[in-house]
Amino acid sequence: MKDAYKHPIRQKSEDELKTLKTFITKLLEYKKKVKLHKTYVKGIGSAIEYNEEPRIYSKYNVATVVTGRLSCASYSVGPAQKKGVSFHTLPRTVDDSVNIRKLMTADDGNVFLAADFSQAELRVLAQCCKDKNLIKAFNSGQDLHSFTASLIYNKPIPEITKLERQIAKSVSFLIVYGGGPGKLSLQINKPLSYCKNIFKEYQNSFPDVFKWMAYVHKYVRKHGYAVSLFGRRRNLPNVNSPVRALQFRALRQGMNFVIQSSASDMMLHSIKRLQDSITDQKVTDMSLLATVHDSVEAQCNSKNLEEKINLMHSSLTDMSDLKGLYGLDLVVPFEVDIEVGTSFGNVIEAEVENGKVHNLKELLQHVENC
């Protein structure tokens, strides 16, 4: 056609496209730093000025997210009307030169303990579907994504490449969030046929994952709602919509709800268990500060640091009480990684095993140097 539309990008030369890509990359970096400065640097500064003390506060909401997760706002209500920032959106890093979390420092003589649940949602998936290979991966202590890749590509774990591990990781999380081969193709820039084969191999390796997904879809269609492991319910009326797109969205939301809500309630129970342990054992120089998604942050005096790390680790990972409360007999362990430091942006991981912190000397040296 003589007057056919010509896409402006396709008319560019290779050099022009490279220049355009560089410009867009720099523009996105600039926008990130502008947001960082406006939201956090200026926000923290104005909060300190308003509160008349070098502290920031956050408000946690317990009934605003459908999955039951806590949400976090940038202020704290109450008699004092404190200002602050939202810990949930606090970025780890923007680039190598900017780490906003280093502004958050512990009180003199104290350290931060940050415990992060490892692969919480994938462990919940294993708990829900009882797939033998998924359970084996977690109980054997092997790296889950390397284990998954070895099954998908039919290769020994030592021969798995970084790219193959990354693809296996992407597939695992796409399953949790309701994605498919098309989404994977966009993420890893591979042909759709290749990604369909990857999903087929994943299904062959973890058949009970897909059987459980089919069960959840059938349950949601029949009842119009989804139920988590803890009995929390989410109504999904659109599952009966005449619009197929809305039906599929409701089914995806139902499966996602079961996993995210269950992981959230496990997290909330663990936080309460930790607080109870601190109170019962009269650890007066340790207190909980914040929770961010699948992590909980505490502050404590650096004295008897190993005991406090072990207290945190055992309180968060010993979930035997859930059997009595909810009839949950866990088939996989729920592990946490604990980091230690004098600021949120300068921490190192504690190597905890059987009540022993193997790198305690390194942790104490790190705290002293900070």
Distance CA 88, CA 70 (A): 9
Q: Could you read off the pLDDT of 6-52 as tens digits, one per residue? A: 556 566 677 777 788 888 989 988 888 888 888 778 878 887 887 78
How far, in Å, are 60, 70, 91, 265 from residue 255 at the CA level? 26, 19, 28, 16
When the pLDDT of each residue in the chain is averaged and rounded to a whole number, the result is 87
Residues of the chain with CATH 1.10.150.20: 131-251
Residues of the chain with CATH 3.30.70.370: 110-120+265-369
pLDDT band at 1 (very low <50, low <70, confident <90, very high): very low
> Which CATH topology does 110-120+265-369 take?
Alpha-Beta Plaits (3.30.70)
Strand partners, 356: 353
Q: Which CATH number fits domain 131-251: 3.90.1640.10, 3.50.50.60, 3.20.10.10, 1.10.150.20?
A: 1.10.150.20
Instruction: Calculate what percentage of the chain has a pLDDT beyond 70.
Output: 91
- Residue whose structure tokens are 């999903």: 199
DSSP 8-state class, residue 91: -
Q: Could you read off the pLDDT of 210-230 as tens digits, one per residue? A: 999 999 999 999 999 999 999
Distance CA 175, CA 134 (A): 13
Q: In this model, does residue 66 exceed pLDDT 90?
A: no
Residue 111 CA neighbour count, 13 Å, CB half: 27
Which residue intervals of 281-327 are DSSP H helices? Answer: 305-317, 321-326
CA-nearest of 110, 115, 104 to 349 is 115
Q: Could you read off the pLDDT of 130-183 as tens digits, one per residue? A: 999 999 999 988 899 999 999 999 999 999 999 999 999 999 999 888 888 999
Q: In this model, does residue 291 exceed pLDDT 90?
A: no
> Do the beta carbons of residue 157 and residue 168 sit within 8 Å?
no
DSSP letters, 174-228, are: HHHHT--HHHHHHHHT--HHHHHHHHHHHHHHSHHHHHHHHHHHHHHHHHSEEE-
